Chain A
Amino acid sequence: MSPTEPSEARASDRGLKSEMTQIRRFSENDTQITPETYAELEAIAARYPEPRSGLLPMLHLVQSVEGRVTSEGIEACAKVLGISAADVSGVATFYTMYKRKPVGDYLVGVCTNTLCAVMGGDVIFDRLKEHLDVGNDETSEDGAITLEHIECNAACDYAPVMMVNWEFMDNQTPESAVQVVDALRAGEAVHSTRGPKLCTWKQAERVLAGFNDGLANEGPAAGPASLVGLEIARERGWKAPTSDSSGPTEEPGTKIEAVEEADTSRAESETLSKEVK
């Protein structure tokens, strides 16, 4: 069974339950958007030569304030950019990081793309669903954890990978994953394996909106797997050549030759375009 499809009956059961919880926790009218939020939305738009370029980070800011993308947040972005709410909605519904349902304090994502799934991600995801009594994209009853399965997060050398609020939790096992969510629910400090103490999802969204939280200096420069090749090179005294060594360079002389050497048809058509001077 695909990890996206928990058993139908249980899912709808849980879905209803968590929907009710969420409706109680967040009603449409308790928007947190203030004049300061508007000022920050405008500041984001002002970073770009054309204001609309700010929309993706602006929606991250909305999530940091509202805990999801609300209608009020959409209206605010539309107003700041002078575009329609439908335009903003169209963007907000395209990208998977934007959530229309309230997200818990910690968004836990288990990679179930092929490599992580094979290495144990499927088992981890199943264990967490059972432990938290939620399905994919659902929030635990205490509102602490939203669980989802995610696609490849560019840390395959640390498989199986779990992300919490988009911080790396490398080399997980079902047991370690359960420990992480239990500690988070108990309000204990949990550190990313390659970063700082985990902040809340709303705080993380604020950083994605471009507002630095001053935590860049936390954590190591690199995790162990990132350094294995370098360490082997150091042990064996291997180095890139020194800059005085040289070799003959045969550059493709023509665009046609370059095309023959390039891998993709996209590059090919780009090169051959008559429009390109």
Chain B
Amino acid sequence: MDMLTPVLTDNWGQDRAWTLAAYEKQGGYAAMKKALTPEYGGPDAIIQAVKDSGLRGRGGAGFPTGMKWGFIPQDNPKPKYLVVNADESEPGTCKDIPLMMASPHTLVEGVIISSFAIRANHAFIYVRGEVLHVIRRLQHAVQEAYLAGHLGKDINGTGYDLDIVVHAGAGAYICGEETALLEGLEGRRGQPRLRPPFPAVAGLYASPTVINNTESIASVPSIIANGADWFASMGTEKSKGFGIFSLSGHITKPGQYEAPLGITLRELVDLAGGMRAGHQLKFWTPGGSSTPLLTDEHLDVPLDFEGVAAAGSMLGTRALQLFDETTCVVRAVLRWTEFYKHESCGKCTPCREGTWWLVQTLARLEKGEGSEADLDLLLDQCDNILGRSFCALADGAVSPISSSIKYFRDEYLAHLRHGGCPLDPAASTVFASHGAPA
């Protein structure tokens, strides 16, 4: 198996890759036609193929996609809905945005096949509002697909009807949480719902709803085109297929690397030309800031769901943010904590109040004030937050804190000894590596 396996990224370098003409020239919409012909076996055959492929949700949780589709109660007389979660906002995560910018038709084709599979006649792409050009490209792709007869009434003469609405959000990290997203899509404040009922039973407009990440849905056409076995031939035993790995930070070539699940950070760093010249890896996130930090001890951890979990973290969205030895871990963690405080929707007390207190405690430590006992106080606060709210935002908020205390307790203490940060923030900037003073 080759180390990199471009499937979703394969056409990103093509001239005007975002257009229908370019997409169809490289075989686009053939999978849709295949899936919608009666010979394929109908919606259940598509669900079965996605189940057999082993595709697991690419938005972080890793739940089997085909199984999620199977939860839709088909005896429920209400309309069924497909909602694409394109609210990519987890710090470090930057895979869906370039996908939708370069090849929005991959997503649209995936939406058509997936909607047909769950018997939905309405689908929504909930895209974060802060990415204007990506929204233009999505609107354009949907319009082109309508004009080509791939959307609307009686798609390509198959008798199947589907409408897609591109829905721009308005700035709220919490709307990446699926029930908060549904609230936003219903025109309300984006606050998570209590479950049960689950979206599969009572989601959008209290109707059966499937919510999938952009990359999950975009992977569906390739599974239909090449077969479930093809998809499952990549990856590891329980984490099948390929995924986009996003490298950012103090690395020579940051960017998107599409590889079978199970590749290691060491392999990716090698491909990316190593850490920036003259520096070493200090800490990294495997899947965004909500996944516990790892260190240079973990370079050989297989980046699949099981491997990263065994190392005490989570694969998440494969958002690999790499920081070298110039970076102050306390500063990094404080900034993430301020983010969670800002983005807490305010519904649950442990999250609303807890994230505020975490910032107070951490900010004091970062300034070199407080005492060693504050580290225990922080861990106690984390203990009172973790698992005590409706959604996972608060759980994410404590991940960088508890993991950084685990691996870098000494650096916290150094702030107390030093009366502030012992590191120079200018040294970690990109301008520092150019030799220009910041």
Interface residues of A (CB under 8 A from B): 2, 4, 47-50, 52-57, 59-60, 81, 90-91, 94-98, 109, 112-115, 117-120, 122-123, 150-160, 163, 165-168, 171, 173-174, 192, 194-196, 204, 207-210, 212-213, 215-219, 221-233, 236, 238-241, 243-252, 255, 258, 261-267, 269-271, 273-277
Q: Which of B92-100, B107-115, B368-376, B407-415 contacts A (4 or more CB under 8 A)?
A: B92-100
* Chain B residues closer than 8 Å to A244, beta-carbon distance: 230
Could you say which interface size class chain B belongs to?
A: 35 or more
CA distance A236 to B133 in the complex (A): 32
A133 to B64, CA, bound (A): 52
Do B61 and A115 touch across chains, with their CB atoms under 8 A apart?
no
Contact B198 A275 (CB under 8 A): yes
Are A97 and B94 in touch, CB under 8 angstroms? no
Query: In whole Å, how far is A251's beta carbon from the nearest beta carbon of chain B?
Result: 6
Q: Cβ of B166 < 8 Å from any Cβ of A?
A: yes
Docked complex Cα distance between A75 and B363 (Å):
41
Contacting residues, chain B, for A168 (C-beta < 8 A): 131, 133
Interface pick from B9-17, B39-47, B146-154, B377-385? B9-17
Q: How far is the CA of A171 from the CA of B248 in the complex (A)?
A: 12
- The answer for the CA separation of A164 and B179 in the assembled complex, in Å, is 30
* Option from A215, A243, A271 in Cβ contact (under 8 Å) with B136: A215
If over half of A's interface residues share one DSSP class (helix, strand or loop), that class is named, otherwise mixed; here it is: loop
B389 to chain A, nearest CB (A): 11
Within 8 Å of chain A (Cβ to Cβ): is B34? no
Q: Mark B272-314, 1 if CB is under 8 A from A, else 0.
A: 1000000000000000010000000000000001100100001
Cα of A96 to Cα of B171 in the assembled complex, Å = 5
- A117-B335, A228-B254, A230-B13 known; 14 other A-B pairs, CB under 8 Å? A95-B169, A112-B335, A115-B249, A207-B135, A212-B140, A222-B101, A229-B258, A232-B271, A233-B4, A238-B3, A261-B306, A263-B316, A270-B63, A273-B198
A215: chain B residues within 8 A (beta carbon): 133, 136
Q: List 30 A-B contacts (CB under 8 A).
A: A50-B205, A56-B168, A56-B169, A56-B170, A57-B168, A95-B169, A109-B130, A113-B339, A114-B289, A118-B429, A120-B430, A120-B431, A123-B438, A151-B343, A156-B254, A157-B94, A166-B132, A196-B133, A207-B132, A210-B166, A213-B136, A221-B15, A222-B98, A228-B254, A229-B4, A240-B6, A240-B10, A246-B229, A269-B195, A270-B195
Closest to B315 in A: A263
Q: Which of A94, A96, A223, A243 has the most CB of B within 10 A?
A: A94
Known contacts A213-B136, A262-B62; is-contact A239 B168 (Cβ 8 Å)? no
Closest Cβ of chain B to A96, distance in Å, is 4
Known: A249-B54, A266-B392. A230 touches B12 (CB 8 A): yes
Q: A49-B122, A154-B97, A227-B12 are in contact. Are A238 and B79 (CB under 8 A)?
A: no
Check A261/B187 contact, CB under 8 A, given A96-B172, A112-B335, A120-B430: no
> Scoring B residues 232 to 265 as 1 if CB is less than 8 Å from chain A, else 0, what string do you get?
1110011010100111111001111111000000
Chain B residues with Cβ below 8 Å from A265 are 387, 392, 395
Which interface residue of A119, A207, A231, A232 has the most chain B CB atoms within 10 A? A119
Asked if A154 contacts B338 (CB within 8 A), the reply is no
Cβ contacts under 8 Å, B5 to chain A: 233, 238-241
Q: Bound complex: CA of A123 vs CA of B429, how far in Å?
A: 9
| Chain B residues close to A by CB (< 8 Å) | 1-7, 9-10, 12-19, 51-54, 56-57, 60-64, 67, 71, 73, 79, 88-94, 96-98, 101-103, 122, 128-133, 135-137, 139-140, 143, 165-173, 184-190, 195-198, 200-201, 205, 225-230, 232-234, 237-238, 240, 242, 245-250, 253-259, 271-272, 289, 305-306, 309, 314-316, 319, 321, 323, 327, 331-332, 335-336, 338-339, 342-343, 345, 363, 387, 391-392, 395, 425-426, 428-431, 436, 438
> Which chain A residue lies CB-closest to B438?
A123
A154 touches B93 (CB 8 A): yes
Contact residues in A for B309 (Cβ distance below 8 Å): 263
Other-chain residue from A158, A207, A243, A276 in contact with B198 (beta carbon distance below 8 A): A276
* CB-nearest residue of chain A to B140: A216
- Given A94-B189, A160-B430, the answer on whether A226 and B255 have CB atoms closer than 8 Å is yes
Shortest B279–chain A CB gap in Å is 13
A157 touches B255 (CB 8 A): yes
A262 x B335 contact (CB < 8 A): no
Is B61 a contact of A262 with CB atoms below 8 Å?
yes
Cβ contact within 8 Å between B321 and A156: yes
**Closest beta carbon of chain A to B313's beta carbon, Å:** 10
A243 to B234, CA, bound (A): 11
Q: Is the CB of B129 within 8 A of A208?
A: yes
Contact residues in B for A152 (Cβ distance below 8 Å): 89-93, 339
Question: Given the complex, which residues of B lie within 8 Å of A154, measured CB to CB?
Answer: 88-89, 93-94, 96-97, 128, 131
Q: Given A95-B172, A159-B248, A48–B97 Cβ distance below 8 Å? A: no
Instruction: Give the Cβ gap from B84 to chain A, nearest Cβ, in Å.
Output: 15
Question: Known interface pairs A228-B255, A232-B271, A258-B64. Does A251 touch B136 (Cβ–Cβ under 8 Å)?
Answer: no
With A167-B133, A251-B52 as contacts: A230 and B343 at CB distance below 8 Å:
no
- Once bound together, how far apart are the Cα atoms of A271 and B198, in whole Å? 9
Q: Could you tell me the distance between the alpha carbons of A195 and B10 in the complex, rounded to whole angstroms?
A: 21
Give the distance in Å from the alpha carbon of A241 to the alpha carbon of B1 in the complex: 7
What are the 9 tightest A-B residue pairs by CB atom distance, in nearest-first order? A55-B187, A246-B229, A229-B257, A228-B255, A216-B140, A95-B170, A156-B248, A238-B2, A97-B171
Contacts A240-B6, A267-B62, A273-B198 known; A157 to B256 CB distance under 8 Å? yes
What CA separation (Å) do A89 and B71 show in the bound complex? 36
Bound-state Cα–Cα, A48 to B65, Å: 26
